[in-house]
Amino acid sequence: MACLIQGFVTNGMAPIMAEQVHNKEKQRLWVKFSQLPATLIIGGILVGFLLCIALLSFVWTPYDPIAMNVRDRYLPIGSEGYLLGTDRFGRDVLTQIIMGARNSLFVSIISTLVSLMIGTLLGLYVAAAGGRIQNIISRTIDVGVAIPGILVAMVLATAIGPGNLAAITAIIIWFIPVAARVVIGPAVQVLSQDYIEAAFGYGRKKWFVLFNHVLPNISSTIIVQASVMFAAAILIEAALSFLGVGAQSPIASWGRTLKEAQPLMEIAPSLMVVPGLAIVLAVLGFNLLGDGLRAYLDPQQTRKR
Amino acid sequence: MLIIENLHVSIAGHTVAEVEKLELANGQRIGFVGESGSGKSMIVMSILGLQPKSAKVTGSIKFNGVELIGIPAKKLADIRGRLIGLVPQDPTKSLNPTMRIGKQIAEAISLHSNAGKKAILRRVRELIDNVRLPDPDRIIKSYPHQLSGGQQQRVLIAIAIACEPKLLIADEPTTALDVTVQGEILNLLLTLSKELDMGLLFVSHELGVVRFVCQKVAVIYGGQVAEFGNADSIIKQPAHRYTDALIAANISLPRNEIEVAGNTNQLHSVRGSVPSIGEFPDGCRFRNRCDFAIDSCRSFVPMRQKDKDHYHRCCNPISSAEKPNVTH
């Protein structure tokens, strides 16, 4: 009898307890989430949204991006069937923006990753070299940082022809010295620690120490730098295509959409506002993400949690 | 086991350390005492070839018959950690903050053996247990910043003794720690040295600490051994004026407790400060700060024997009749 009652009780209790546990876990997750910096959350949402849209464009866009519809030219925002209106050829602006997001992210991600990789390797090498080599290369890097990137892009565009390749190459050349300079400082500081000397003392090779001990310790710097670079790359890509150096028609690009809208400012101001807003939101998203990551990865913050 | 002979370390032409002869027997514990800048770390670090790159080292340091000066880097790397362990001064700078503790201890083992993963993990637990750290599972998974300074220093001791070295060098292992933890670390070093029959080369600026840990003491000043002998004999009956001044300045030694408790209310301090490299006077290095300097201090002072196992280089030593430190 007692057994029966117990069985009944436990059976009855089990789902309630499981639910409580589940709720507690949910609560804990929520607490963890709510402790994240607000900038990180907002930035993450903006960037995530942008990424989703760019990926979506591979499978679906509202309209064919190059299909013209002469009857429906210059439709305003909120027209039936055209959420963001149409441009002077009657193309759907929303489709243009979505395709532009794809191009913008493509250029900025490729160029940022490549320049970060090369810049980090260069920075690590310089930090470990020390002495005269370090001096010479870091001064050269400083000179590299001082060269205006737009100028490099212009020269490249005339040399290899305008297009995404020219834009990507220009941004990479522009960013390598920036990335290297960001890496050198923290790397030198980490290299002066006793555990680095111990690793060398045990007979570890230079690049082993650099990858296994130095790189993990400066990773937060690099991650934050990456998000800042993404934002800058989006802006530069837009500027280059605005100047006619970047992506060429018919590849959609925010900068070119903006440029094409410029002479039509008085007829259809929304054509200019929309791509401008897209650029602003994308840059804002990456910058907020960078700021949030900086706060989140700050070692002192981490220690407090 | 360890024999240092005619060791001479110089930086940019200036002598920073010279030791005529110093021996350490198996399992013996020896303390190096001196102020900051006295060259004690320089002597100890040159044993492991860890002196600054600009330093020039000549002479002979023999460890179990192997000459360590001029040894190829590969052979030296093998000796470091396997035969001679090092406990560093600052634990917070000596552990990689992005690597779990378990991995850092395991690295020290795997560098010098071909043991499998399981054997290494077993050894890591054993070592954590050896250095009296609780809860090995948690420690293995922790990052350095999750441990206290004392716990970090214990981890570093575990790393240093991972391969059961014959000699452990501890370079001021308690300076960066809280006073409350210092005693525990010292006790640990002492017990480990006895348990593993491991020689201990202990660098410190506290004579009281050294007397507690070591059998022999070398008082270092200006890169020279000023006085050498049994710890008790040196602290109870110092011969060198510098040793005497050091003792007088030390609050933790019983002799001074009485004075502090009494009416003077003041600790003695050594006049002046340690000169920079290359600015030490000729003859006795301590001459310009000594209240008892005489004319013969101006010329080179050789090592003299006071008792069996008690040597010093002082021209005007404290005689047995003189009560030490009365005139300060």
- This complex has an ipTM of 0.80
Q: What CATH number does the domain containing B31 carry?
A: 3.40.50.300
Question: Chain B residues with CB inside 8 Å of A302's CB?
Answer: 145
Residue B18 lies in a domain: yes
Question: Chain A residues with CB inside 8 Å of B73's CB?
Answer: 203
A208 at B interface, C-beta within 8 A: no
Q: What is the DSSP code (8-state) at residue B311?
A: E
* pLDDT tens string A126-155: 999 988 999 999 999 999 999 888 888 888
A213 at B interface, C-beta within 8 A: yes
Output b/e per residue, B52-90; b: 16+ Cβ within 10 A.
Answer: eeebebebebebeeeebeebeeeebbbbbbbbbbbbbbb
Residue B288 lies in a domain: yes
Q: What CATH number does the domain containing A115 carry?
A: 1.10.3720.10
Residue B104 lies in a domain: no
The predicted pLDDT at position A113 comes to 96
CA pair distance B285, A140, nearest whole angstrom: 48
Residue A159 lies in a domain: yes
B211 phi and psi angles, rounded to 5 deg: -65, -35
CA pair distance A97, A92, nearest whole angstrom: 9
**B73 vs A203: CB contact, 8 Å cut-off?**
yes
Question: Chain A residues with CB inside 8 Å of B81's CB?
Answer: 202
Sheet containing B29-33: order of strands:
B84-87, B167-171, B199-204, B29-33, B216-221, B224-230, B310-312, B304-307
The type of residue at A2 is A
The predicted pLDDT at position B121 comes to 94
Structure tokens at B263: 């009416």
State the first-to-last Cα distance of chain B, in angstroms, to the nearest integer: 40
Q: What is the DSSP code (8-state) at residue A61?
A: -
User: Looking at chain B, which residue has its C-alpha nearest residue A193?
Assistant: B93
Among A31-40, B69-78, B234-243, the minimum mean pLDDT is found in A31-40
Number of domains in chain A: 1
Partner residues linked to B80 by β-bridges: B84
DSSP A101-130: HHHHHHHHHHHHHHHHHHHHHHHHHHHHH-
Residue A112 lies in a domain: yes
**B98 vs A303: CB contact, 8 Å cut-off?**
no
The predicted pLDDT at position A19 comes to 64
Question: What does the CA dihedral B253, B259, B260, B266 come to, rounded to 10 degrees?
Answer: -110
Q: Measure B89 CA to nearest chain A CA, in Å.
A: 9
Residue A81 lies in a domain: no
* pLDDT tens string B55-92: 899 999 999 989 999 899 889 988 998 999 999 988 98
A203 at B interface, C-beta within 8 A: yes
Number of domains in chain B: 1
Q: Measure B146 CA to nearest chain A CA, in Å.
A: 8
A197 at B interface, C-beta within 8 A: yes
Residue B39 lies in a domain: yes
Residue A292 lies in a domain: yes
What's the whole-number mean pLDDT along residues B3-16?
89
Between B95, B99, B111, which is nearest A202 by CB?
A: B111
Q: Measure B257 CA to nearest chain A CA, in Å.
A: 37
Q: Measure A87 CA to nearest chain B CA, in Å.
A: 53
* pLDDT tens string B195-219: 999 999 999 988 888 888 999 999 9
CB-CB contact of B161 with B168 (8 Å): yes
Number of residues written out for chain B: 328
Residue B278 lies in a domain: yes
Residue A84 lies in a domain: no
Instruction: Provide the whole-model pTM.
Output: 0.80
**A201 vs B50: CB contact, 8 Å cut-off?**
yes
Assess whether pLDDT exceeds 50 at residue B257. yes
Cα-based distances in Å from A279 to A51, A53, A57, A174, A236: 14, 14, 17, 20, 10
Residue A168 lies in a domain: yes
What's the whole-number mean pLDDT along residues A201-215?
91
A198 at B interface, C-beta within 8 A: yes
Selected for mutation to probe chain B from A194, A215, A302, A305 (highest B CB count within 10 Å) is A194
* pLDDT tens string B286-295: 888 888 888 8
Residue B76 lies in a domain: yes
The type of residue at B96 is N
The predicted pLDDT at position A20 comes to 65
Structure tokens at B186: 């010292």
The predicted pLDDT at position A263 comes to 87
Domain that residue B178 falls in? 2-83+163-312
pLDDT band at A250 (very low <50, low <70, confident <90, very high): confident
Domain that residue A168 falls in? 99-253+281-304
CB atoms within 10 A of CB B205: 18
A211 at B interface, C-beta within 8 A: no
Residue B127 lies in a domain: no
